Structure 1
Amino acid sequence: MAVGMDVVLAGCTLIFAVYSVTAELPRKKFEYKLSLKGPHLIQSDGSIPFWTHGGNAIASDQSIRVTPSLRSQKGWVWSKNTNPHEHWEVEATFRISGRGRVGADGLAIWYTTQQGMDGPVFGGKDQWNGLGVFFDSFDNDGQHNNPYVMVMLNDGTKQYDHNSDGQHQQLGGCLRDFRNKPFPVKAKIEYYKNALTLSIHNGMTNNKDDYEICVRAENVNLPRNGYFGVSAATGGLAGAVDDHDLVSFITHSLTVPVTGVCIIYTTFFGMVHLFLYKILDLL
């Protein structure tokens, strides 16, 4: 009889342990007004629901060509609505492709307090307030460290240093060859409890979960109610230009689990344990 009760108690403890681990994971909710994805990406008038695009960007039913592979092109696409959520995750899927051995200039993913339309930083505005994630194709500083993925924070006062490829300004980064891949490249940015995580899918497989962490940083304070955006630019060299195609931009809000449920479960299982041990004492 005592052995049977021990099994019951062990089972209850295991259930609670599993529940506790699961409860730590944030709840995700799809935010359609902050997302875009084909097919039928554009309306009959050429506009994109809840988004605006311009510069040299060309929208189609399936994707947005942020810049074509021509010299000195700039394009952008920005959300019309701000992001009111404290915790969030975005996944941008894109292709960067060109016929040259090297590309230029690159693509940027933004989260900023203002829509940074048309500027010198990969097609976006300089001295932004918020987050920039840069996929830098061209080796401006001659250090042979491109293509490179970089995360940079800005409070609206810093100018991006093109000559050094922003190396001394970055929060973090990683070497990743994101050009001319057989499958689209993906970037997943998670901002949860002031921790920023950038993960990259390198486009070498069709496995949607094949991500590697590029940057993770704690104690990051991003502004609330920012805009999401993607921009791109090509260089002035004829042999170093790329098509930059945005396939999708998917946004989820993240919600911290309610800890009150954990307290209820803790109290409940504690009372069950006590009750069962009292029964065992009487046997």
Structure 2
Amino acid sequence: MQQIKFQLTQYFLVALFFTPILAEWNTRDYVRREHSLTKPYQGSGMSVPYWDFLGSTIVTTNYVRLTSDLQSKSGAIWNTVPCYTRNWEVQVQFKVHGRGKDLYGDGFAIWYVKDRMQYGPVFGSKDYYQGLAIILDTYSNHNGAHNHQHPYISATVNNGSLHYDHDRDGTHTQLAGCEAKFRNFNHDTHLSIIYKDDTLIVQTDFEGKNAWKECLRVENVLLPTGYFFGASATTGDLSDNHDIIAIKMYELDLLETQDKDEDRSHIIPSAQTFEAPRERVEDVKPAMSGVKTFLWMMFVAIVIIVLVVLGIMWYQKKQEHSRKRLY
């Protein structure tokens, strides 16, 4: 009996000693700091370790603002280190907010692509990209047939030969998507992107419940290693503040069915299934707000009054000149 107690005591001590070690080295909870962005952002001077900035991006003590709530802005943040991890999860804490109640835009995107720091028309980054884009589209004034409301989250894969068509929300390259209201919340909003065993999973936590809700799941998605993570945003006639608060990249364990020695650096980005595209319908420019309409009418009225006054003055001078000639 004493021997059994002694063995149990030994087992308990061993378990107590190794549990924190196992927890520390559990790669499922392993944050890759070279691919992560957390506060405080500033390094030496104005630089931020492992990250570069593009366009209108502003770094503050509490957030990285890709665009302000102003028209025609575009900004991006790009990781400087390529990702060679086979299975990974990226969690993004962000905030999209602005003055617009019914009209706002355009949105932002989370990237895993071959070419970094490339300015372009796809939510602030280049078109014909190679890799994966998770797009959070907030543009609320689209025209044409829709099977969803905005804001909308979609996953797209491009091998470098496809054009992103804003008028169709990129549905010809879309793998899947979901409606998601994430604007103007007072609490934190989070997005999780998981790529594991050639399966892409996007989850959200927009309700402040500290629980993930699945947005989309797509199998048979091929993404190579050696690409770069990034985030970009843009505004047009409509605008919003697009803030990145934190990006955390986790390295996930390889499954037993995965070959750890497989070279995946030369894989062409692809997916077996795409959602059916809808017909292209040209966008309509957003109507002017009541304030803008009032100001425009006032401007027109002032111009008319000025023209009338000038006409009267010209007519009076002409009459006066005619009278002088008679005398």
Is 1:37–1:63's contact at 8 Å kept on the other side of the alignment?
A: no
State the 1:30 CA deviation: 1.0
For 1:22, the equivalent position in structure 2 comes to none
| Secondary structure of the corresponding residue to residue 177 of structure 1 | coil
User: What TM-score, normalized by structure 2, do the two folds share?
Assistant: 0.67
Deviations 1:15-48 (A, max 9, x none): xxxxxxxxxx97342100000111x211242111
| Secondary structure of the corresponding residue to residue 119 of structure 2 | strand
State the 1:223 CA deviation: 1.6
1:168 is aligned to 2:172: yes
Is 1:121–1:160's contact at 8 Å kept on the other side of the alignment?
A: yes
Question: In 2, Cα distance between the equivalents of 1:71 and 1:216?
Answer: 34
1:227 is aligned to 2:228: yes
- The percent of aligned pairs where both chains have the same amino acid is 34
State the 1:184 CA deviation: 2.3
Which of the two has greater strand per residue? 1
For 2:55, the equivalent position in structure 1 comes to 55
Residues 126-275 of structure 1 aligned to structure 2 (within 5 Å): 126-139=127-140, 140-142=142-144, 143=146, 145-202=149-206, 204-205=207-208, 207-208=209-210, 210-236=211-237, 240-256=238-254
Question: In 1, Cα distance between the equivalents of 2:129 and 2:28?
Answer: 30
Is 1:141–1:165's contact at 8 Å kept on the other side of the alignment?
A: no
Q: Which amino acid aligns with 2:58?
A: I
| Secondary structure of the corresponding residue to residue 48 of structure 2 | coil
Question: In 2, Cα distance between the equivalents of 1:52 and 1:230?
Answer: 11
State the 1:145 CA deviation: 2.0
State the 1:233 CA deviation: 0.4
For 2:41, the equivalent position in structure 1 comes to 41
State the 1:257 CA deviation: 5.5
User: What TM-score, normalized by structure 1, do the two folds share?
Assistant: 0.77
Question: In 1, Cα distance between the equivalents of 2:246 and 2:217?
Answer: 23
Deviations 1:110-132 (A, max 9, x none): 00011053210111111110000
Q: Which amino acid aligns with 1:76?
A: A
For 2:126, the equivalent position in structure 1 comes to 125
| Secondary structure of the corresponding residue to residue 121 of structure 1 | coil
Taking CA–CA contacts closer than 8 Å with sequence separation of 6 or more, which of the two structures ends up with the larger relative contact order?
A: 1
| Secondary structure of the corresponding residue to residue 171 of structure 1 | strand
For the aligned residues, what is the CA RMSD?
1.7
Is 1:76–1:117's contact at 8 Å kept on the other side of the alignment?
A: no
Question: In 2, Cα distance between the equivalents of 1:70 and 1:57?
Answer: 13
Deviations 1:190-241 (A, max 9, x none): 1111111000111x22x33x211111011110121110000000112xxx31
State the 1:168 CA deviation: 3.2
Structure 1's consecutive aligned runs of 4 or more residues displaced over 6 angstroms after TM superposition are none
When residues 200 and 255 of structure 1 are mapped into structure 2, their CA distance, relative to the original with a 3 A threshold, is same
For 1:20, the equivalent position in structure 2 comes to none
Question: In 2, Cα distance between the equivalents of 1:160 and 1:116?
Answer: 18
When residues 134 and 258 of structure 1 are mapped into structure 2, their CA distance, relative to the original with a 3 A threshold, is closer
For 1:265, the equivalent position in structure 2 comes to none
Is 2:54–2:117's contact at 8 Å kept on the other side of the alignment?
A: no
